[in-house]
Structure 1
Amino acid sequence: MCRSKYTSGDLRTNVLTALHKTTTLLPRILPSGKSNRDGVSERESLPFWEEVLRKVYDDLTLAPEKREKDKVRVVVYGVDGTSGAYELVTALLEDPFVSNEQRTALRSRWDSQPEGSGVVKIQYGTSPSEDEGVVHVQSSWLKRFGVPIEVTECNSPSTEGSKALINADVPIIVCNPVLTPLPALTSLDSFSTPPFPIFPQNTIFAVISPSSSKVFTEPFDSQCVLTGFRVEEGLRFLHVDPARALHGLDVLADGSASTLSVQRYQDDATGSNVTSVTKAVTATLSSSSSGSVAAVHAQTGRALIKYALTAAYVVLDNAQAEADGVLRATSELRSEMEEAKAKAHLEVFGAGGKDGDEIAKAVAQAKRNVQPTMDALQWYKLFWRVDDVREAVAAAVDRAWCRDLERKLVFHAGRLASLQASFTQSANTLARSFPASAPYHSPVLLNSLARIASSPSYALTPAALTAPLHARQAQLGFPTSRLHASAQRAVLGMSGSVLGGLGVAWAGWATELQLLGGMIDVGMGPETAVGVGMLGAAIGVRWAVGRWERAKRRWWKDWDRVGDGLERDLKAALAETMDSRVVAVSEEACSGLDDLVAQRKSRIEELNDEVMALWTELHRE
């Protein structure tokens, strides 16, 4: 591990600057919930990191009189009660040929601790400690690193031990792989749910291994990827057998200083590989720029700041995943809406075949039903039915105008009302699925959904689909009135032509017979006058009949135009009903959530940029 290019003072200043920026940034990212009680992982909660970084600040801003008493914290943490932490601490701190008094003080260190205590602190000293929970021993191991050392031992997981481990300058994890599998401890890829509160920076894993043939002292040189940040792992896995080291010390203590006992002690000390732990601690402490306690604390503080930023990155990554999840939910709901629209069109109007869809079939059937009435209105019947044309045609249209289609539309309106209720429930369920503390919980959106659902125009009645039928039927009123007027004009034309022809014929005979004293003279013979009169009457009748037939053809053209418009109106009415009523609430929910997601993603991107900028700044130091 290379030394820092900064002096102790520069490193401390840089770490304090980064610490200030980090403590300002974290409240804008991390949740403020109290660990799992609020559904927040401890390693991702703001109170957790505030406490950790507060300790970093306290370490870097000690008063001069306290700084003289400050020590490097070496924490030996046993993952369970039988991990071997007690044996390892004893093997490290007990010197050979030590007095029985010192040996007893070290080995009975837990006896002097208050009941329920989770840790014991060991410092170098010759007199009993005034601090409760601190044991003073005369161990050369505590003096060999050039800086004051305090060893904190935790035999089994506890809250007090966890807090000590988090802020340790040199954390040593002791594990018995027979009882605790190593994969359970080294799952560092899961930052938010570690098996215990440990960061890989400078961490030493002491794995209890009775077989000396499995001694492994080389540190891991690989890089590990921890939740998106690439960091130097700093982990060392050491296989040790502290029980064997204690056996060698006991042999040396029980017997005389014979060559055999010394040899057995040396064999046990070498075979236990406990010295590899000492070498690892030496390598860790030698990486500081000045070898002072303040420099070691500064390096530890910088590492903890990095992991605080890693926690922030994890929270932002989870927030990004949550935003993507909301988008997936709205996308799925929108897909259901589009599918419902497509199905509604097919179910209401049919797929359309050779004879067209349901609308075309209904209009064609209505035309066939009205056709007999129109065919019955022959020109020669107009003389005695001319006043009944409007009523007869209107009655025929009313009887035949898409009655089957209207009944189908009423039925489908009921089905769409049920579909509307289903989409409304889905939208409300989605909008209310977020807890009150979530960024996607919006009372404004919920109020908007309730307002739409309670508006008078939201209720789906049969008239929503059948209104175009009645509107288009009413449009046939004008063509029918015009047809009635054409019938009247045709009758008048035919009557006038016939009467005119009769008048000419009578005038011819009147001239021949010298009626009315010879006052009438048409200048033609009676036969000619009769022919002219009959010809005029025939021409007049033919003209009137032609106009009547053209009037009926014009009426059928209006019918076709109204039928084509009916198809457009019904399809538009169905689309408008689906958009403004059936899926109105769900569309509003999707749009509202999409807006919230867009705002949230923009905020996440800004915070990510700040985290990465601070992370880059730390890595330049």
Structure 2
Amino acid sequence: MPPWVACVSRQAPCPRAKAIDRFAISLHCRHAALSLRIRSASTHVSPTAINYRPNVPPRNVELYNTLSGLNNAAEQYVNLSRLQLALSGLAGENAVTRVAVLGLKSQVGAQRLARLLVADPLADKAEWEKKLEKSPEEGAVLLRFGDENDAHAPSPLYKIISVPSRVLETHNLEILVSTLNINTPSSTAAQATECSKDVVLVPKLQANSARGTPVPYPVHKTLILGEGLDSALAYGQFTSDTADETDNIVKLAIELPTPSKASEGADISTSAVAINSAIGAEGLDAIRTSVANAVTYERNWFASGVPTVSQWILSELRSDSPVKPVQTALISSLLDDAEATIAKEDAEQLQVLASSTTPEQLGAEMIGYLEQWAEKSHRELRDNLDEAFAGRNWRKLAWWKLFWRVDDVGMITEEVIARRWLVSAEKDAVYLAGRMKQAGFPDEVRPLPGYGEVDAYYKTPADALGHEVSIAENHETALATAVNPPAPWPALLSLTRTTLLATTLPPLQALAQRLILTTLSTTSLSAALSALLYASVSTVSLFEASAVAALGLVFSLRRMQKVWEDGREAWKVEVKEEGRQALKRTEQLVRSIINAGVPGSAVENEGVEERKRAREAVAKVREALRKLSKE
């Protein structure tokens, strides 16, 4: 309760003096209405107008400039809505102070409490009071000093009600009445992205003309009104993370039954206070009925707890310093929040660096994975190929079975390469590439300097298919593919497999067919020669002539056996050697990538520089605020 109201209540003036006071108040309110409209048009700035720059008083220029610099250097560490409110407070001689009265579940109680805070006990019940006592309409309500008949431009955020109150006029005060529902899923999601302090000090108003998008409306102080102990507990859980930071700018008022004695000595510095709006309304109605009820009014007024709330709202609004204490508290709160956010990011970065591995450790870890992969792959190449070459299918390609298995050579050898040649190694290479990709290593590279073997490995063979050359002679030029464009290194194994299928199987198949043809031709010629010899020379017996045919058959079969077995062994050696070379080249290439290091390691320094600039900007604002406070 304002001091002048308590003084009038104790002296109990006569009805004539009361009428004179009413006339003076009415005249003063009408006179101030015009000045209010002019003042409001010049000082009220949209909460989203960050780039607005009015004519700043000379004494506030330094603080205003440093605070504007905070917007550029630490925009991700401060609440921009509260920062704009602080800038607008420095732009005028007597800036508007915004106070929010938020009901936890309903706006009805908040409107009734706001009515008690600004109502004149010596005046009759005004029309604006009747509006506040009714059930609230959709949207918030903004109480602003002025004549009740003032016309206001419609706003999609709130409904403006002009109140001829000395409290609002003297302290240039505006009161926003809205709700703060802390039990909805949306508020839980909001709390996950911003702290509860910002949610309370920057209420989100529902804009009817913006598709329901909430619009922030920053305030200097916030009064939270709850009903019963359950709401107090719910609010305590909601603000558990910032309870120690909001004692001076946020207060919790709880509607409780009438206490046994009046709370005249209540401390306004406490973070919570018990009130009873019904008792305060009864006292207000009593003194308006008759000045003789001043004692009843005073008793009910102090028992309601409303004076404590009123004193807390009006505290720090008047001062001889260039900047109001409430404005100083707002700037200090912004700086504290920025420093806390910077310190939190520093701690998170240190935790990440402590838990993460250094480039040397990361490289050693990747080298270990690579060596494990290489060892396992070489063992797989040896064991699987030995098992395949000792198996039943490979024995089907014995030299004496070629006469009826010659068409199966390509199928059996293709099965060996497709199912037995580094199948698991290729899959493990993909997993290893995923580890390296996650660690930040590139997965696509060009042949590195000094990799002449890799370039020579992929070139077109010079020998044409169909020539009578052994597999061993064709080994140096058997593989053919082109890998000049960048390609993921795990694809080297699959490229080698494809090359083996395309370049080694046709020569082996052709060799088998040539040997069958050569054997049959040699045998046929020797048989013909034997028959001719027997028929033309009478002294040659049948046995002697058959010896020539037998000699040709043995010679052709022996040659077929030797050449085919040598060709099979050469192909086995080639497949094993090409697998070993592919694993070796892959290991060398991956090792060179790991030794080159992880690119883009300067990102961490960028974050450090940003936080350093933000700290410097905060220090400049504190220094400017300290200088202004000493003036």
**TM-score of the aligned structures, taking structure 1 as reference length:** 0.49
Bigger radius of gyration: 1
Q: Which has the higher helix share?
A: 1
**TM-score of the aligned structures, taking structure 2 as reference length:** 0.48
